[in-house]
Amino acid sequence: MSELQDLENKSIYIIREAYAEFKKPAVLWSTGKDSTAALWLCRKSFFGKIPFPVIHIDTGYKFKQMYKFRDSIAAEWGLDLIVAENEEARKAGIGPQGGKFECCTQLKTQALMQCLEKKGFDALILAIRRDEHGIRAKERYFSPRDEDFKWDYKNQPLEMWDQYQSIAEDKTHTRVHPILHWRELDVWEYVKQENLPINPMYFAKDGKRYRSLGCEPCTNPIDSDAASIDEIVEELKTTKIAERSGRAQDKEKAFTMQKLRALGYM
């Protein structure tokens, strides 16, 4: 069995476990490469049709190409798409100029929290990976959250042999991380193998490309000439630049990511 197949088999197993264990799951989709791969894995898990909603959190600050990509894939794959936003915060004009920590918390975490409350989802499938960030390397496949969305990272459940923690009484939802064990390179090799649609912003234009997609004001491209999937794969085999180096919110201060995530950030 190839390494990619091995990764895929495990992810599908996890997604199916989540669907069997929880009453009302949903999958989060940023339209980026990782969550698009995760959506594809969901389609594979259920033989084409994803039997639960797909949530896109709209901060209003996403790149135009992301909205375009979102709408075209949603139609093509027949997704039950929910666009979630924190209307109040957007009306109040919350933005990165007033602090990135607050902006991420309001426009992403709070938007998600409101959507969860309204719809009553008890599991959220998320495409985070261990190799993205030190703090994500500490995650479980099934990671419970309390009603305030808090990640009790000092007391995570025992998770052995693919026996995941089911929901406990003092927790309200569980984060499910089916591609936690994938590397960035694996995702791209998988995109290639499966011929997945991908936002063209990942490909280099005029010596720059986006390696990780987020909100327009806080996401910067990297120097790169990789203009195709093959070239990206080659680039990743040798690069020493961190994947999220273009994502401003990670870097504001040490442990910002931990604090964001403890509050329920993805």
Q: Which residues bind other proteins (CB under 8 A)?
A: 1, 3, 6, 8-10, 12-13, 16-17, 19-20, 43-49, 51, 130-131, 133-135, 137-138, 140, 153-154, 156-161, 163, 165-169, 181, 183, 240-242, 245, 254-255, 258
Q: How far is the CB of 53 from other proteins (least distance, A)?
A: 17
Residue 88 CB, shortest distance to other proteins, in Å, is 31
Which is nearest to 179 in space by CA: 24, 4, 20, 48?
Answer: 4
- Rounded-to-integer distance, Cα 225 and Cα 239, Å: 12
139 touches 177 (CB < 8 A): yes
Task: Quote the least distance from Cβ 253 to other proteins, whole Å.
Answer: 10
Please identify, using beta-carbon distances, which residue of 10 and 90 lies nearer to other proteins: 10
Contacts of 98 (CB under 8 A, 6+ apart): none
Tell me the closest approach of the beta carbon of residue 72 to other proteins, in angstroms.
20
Answer left, alpha or beta for residue 206, where phi above 0 means left and psi between -120 and 50 means alpha: left
Q: Where are the alpha helices (DSSP H) in 22-46?
A: 33-45
Please name which of 152, 178, 144 lies closest in space to residue 44, comparing C-alpha atoms: 178
Token reading at 80: 């039950």
DSSP string, 161-214: TTB-----TT--EEEE-TTTT--HHHHHHHHHHHT----GGGS-BTTEE-SS--
CB of 167 to other proteins, least distance (A): 7
Least separation in angstroms between residue 117's CB and other proteins is 22
Distance of closest approach, residue 113 Cβ to other proteins, in angstroms = 23
- Contact predicate 204/224, CB 8 Å: yes
Cα–Cα distance, 120 to 173 (Å, whole number):
9
